[in-house]
Amino acid sequence: MYKIFMALLLSLSIITACNSEPQSFFGESNNWKAELNTASDGKVEGFVLSYIGSDMQSVGLFDAGVHAGNFGFNSNGAELNSDGNFVFDLDGNPNDMIVKKNSEIITTIEWDGHTEEITLNN
């Protein structure tokens, strides 16, 4: 009976692990919104920061950082594209940028003398 229980438990663990889905984390502040996407294994695949304020021309160059418990990345002197978005270039980042399901992810943006912080949730 014990062996059957252990086999069932192991099978359930494998099925659960195989059914992991990609995750998206979102957040918004007064002037910015952010989205972080992960693969099914939790590895960060993309991060987009969008300006939603009223004066995109005033943003100019800005600094942004993303910090979670076990990783973080920054961009200094970033610039918005014509749509008001900035896509972080994650090429070359370490493979250990894994987001756990209930991770607290904080994004900080500094521009033109202003600072805003966004907490991302899934």
Q: Which domains does the chain have, with CATH numbers?
A: 21-120 (2.60.40)
Helix, strand, or coil (residue 39)? coil
Residue 14 is predicted with a pLDDT of: 47
pLDDT in tens, the chain (122 residues): 555 545 555 554 444 444 478 889 999 999 999 999 998 888 899 999 999 999 999 999 999 999 998 888 999 999 999 999 999 987 766 667 888 767 889 999 999 999 999 999 98
Structural tokens at position 33: 């919104």
Residue with tokens 């493979």: 95
User: Strand ranges (DSSP E) for 39-84?
Assistant: 44-51, 62-67, 72-78
Q: Are 106 and 121 within 8 A, CB to CB? A: no
Q: Tell the burial category of 115 from Cβ atoms under 10 Å away from its Cβ (0-12, 13-18, 19+).
A: exposed
Residue with tokens 């918005």: 80
Strand duo 62-67 + 23-28: pairing:
unpaired
Q: How far apart, in whole angstroms, are the C-alpha atoms of residue 119 and residue 32?
A: 11
Q: How far apart, in whole angstroms, are the C-alpha atoms of residue 122 and residue 112?
A: 30
Q: Over the Cα atoms of the chain, what is R_g?
A: 18
